Amino acid sequence: MTSEPIFTSGFPLGSSAGLVTAFEWLGQPYRLTRVDMLGEMRTDAYKRLNGRVETPVLITGEGRVLTETMAIALWLEARDTERRISFDPGTPQADRMHQYIAFLNTGFTGAFTPLWVALEADEASEQERETLRKFGREFVAKRHEQLEAMIGDSTYLLGEKPTLADAVFAGVARWVDFHEAADPNDYPHILALRQRIEADPAFRFALAVEDGRPAIGSGAMKGLVPLADVLRDTSSALAA
């Protein structure tokens, strides 16, 4: 294992693209591993890394395995001593950022679950799929309405610079297009924020990595690590 943390980013359309963006904004050394969520993620070897069969996963520099978007976001916050993408602990801004992250990682992300189930449930009937899609569209609209009401007139969710909350948002917000779940123009604040972040070089780098295309980032990313190496080294560390 390397001394840099290794972040496993899922594709296609993984929410983890948002945290890749956060790593880029933070600017501290890290490595990346691409994980095919439709194939590699469903193997027994990957289940030993994350028994819930999900991404993202972070392997810390010490070899510890950390899962769940919210936990990894807090891990990044703790290392953001220059407060590039977070705020001083205990401040109203930090509390507000945690509120956004919690909402985005639960209610906002969870609203898409029926739509993903409708897409991936091979044995479901078309009637069952349409019922799931109907519920999904309703949930997505409700959560978009709630987020639209939360967003103020600042450039980003919490002021004039992007934070971890914006990164978590960016990884999921694009799902509305893929599922055709709502008209983005109905939510002008959300749409403006999406467009701003999606034009950011850090997010464009995250998407290029996700797609397996050559990409030039901030220089913080020190290389791609094959998933097989991560699984092998992590299994060895856990067995030691």
pLDDT in tens, 6-43: 999 999 999 999 999 999 999 999 999 999 999 999 99
Residue 215 has pLDDT above 60, yes or no: yes
Could you tell me which of 25, 59, 18 has the C-alpha nearest to residue 172? 18
Residue with tokens 């189930």: 117
What confidence tens digit (pLDDT) does each residue in 65-117 have? 999 999 999 999 999 999 999 999 999 999 999 999 999 999 999 999 999 99
First and final C-alpha spacing in the chain: 13
Residue 49 has pLDDT above 80, yes or no: yes
Instruction: Look up residue 220 and give its two tokens.
Output: 């913080």
* Backbone conformation region of residue 197, classed left if phi is above 0, alpha if psi is from -120 to 50, else beta: alpha
Q: What is the pTM of this model?
A: 0.94
Q: Is the dihedral of CA 139, 142, 144, 147 positive or negative?
A: negative
Residue 240 has pLDDT above 60, yes or no: no
Q: What is the pLDDT of residue 236?
A: 58
Q: Is the dihedral of CA 3, 165, 212, 115 positive or negative?
A: positive
